[in-house]
Amino acid sequence: MARARPAPDEPLRALLREHGQRVTEDRLAIWRELHAAHDHMDADQLFARLREKGLKGSRATVYRTLDLLVRAALVSKIRATEQRFVYEMAAGRRHHDHLVCTRCGKIVEFENEQIEKLQDEIAARHGFTLSAHFMRLSGVCASCRKGAAS
């Protein structure tokens, strides 16, 4: 008999139970919106999307839930600009790294097996076993460079 696949929101339910917190519709809505999103968004954008869908919860609930999800490594937090962080679903996604424009905040995801292998080699050379890593390369995107040149 095939095992039933867990409900999409089971990771959140398990995390909330583990931390002694209630499973609420607001928290489930936050999780589902992140799960469905195909882009990076900041907490205010997430809150606005949820409001458009009729969520009555607070901005504080969004921030607290995001914080819990980041600490549990179910969601990634990425610095887009000096003052702005964006979030993306980490659970169930292939590992990738980011190029971030320091002017406009544009984020480009990339994967590179050579970089992954090199990180493993460096860690081993220093006696580390990697459990996670996050690479963010900062610079100026082609659009911003083009705008600055004109």
Give residue-wise pLDDT tens across range 70-80.
998 889 998 88
3-state DSSP helix/strand/coil % of the chain, to nearest 5: 45, 15, 40
pLDDT at 3 over 80: no
pLDDT for res 120: 92
Give residue-wise pLDDT tens across range 10-66.
888 898 999 898 999 999 999 999 988 888 999 999 999 999 999 888 999 999 999
pLDDT at 1 over 60: no
Matching fold, domains 7-91 and 94-150: no
Amino acid 77 reads K
- Rounded Cα–Cα distance for residues 41 and 9 (Å): 20
pLDDT for res 150: 65
pLDDT at 6 over 70: no
pLDDT at 147 over 90: no
Q: Where are the alpha helices (DSSP H) in the chain?
A: 10-18, 25-36, 43-52, 59-71, 113-125, 142-149
Task: Give strand pairing partners of 88.
Answer: 76
- Rounded Cα–Cα distance for residues 141 and 145 (Å): 6
Cβ pair 32, 9 in contact under 8 A: yes
Would you kindly state where each structural domain of the chain is located, as residue ranges? 7-91, 94-150
- Cα–Cα distances (Å) from 91 to 17, 38, 104, in that order, read 18, 13, 27
Nearest to 96 by CA among 79, 113, 84: 113
- Rounded Cα–Cα distance for residues 93 and 44 (Å): 23
Architecture of the domain defined by 7-91: Orthogonal Bundle (1.10)
- Rounded Cα–Cα distance for residues 27 and 13 (Å): 9
- Which CATH number among 1.10.645.10, 3.30.1490.190, 3.40.50.150, 3.30.700.30 corresponds to the domain 94-150? 3.30.1490.190
Check residues 5 and 89 and name the one with the higher pLDDT: 89
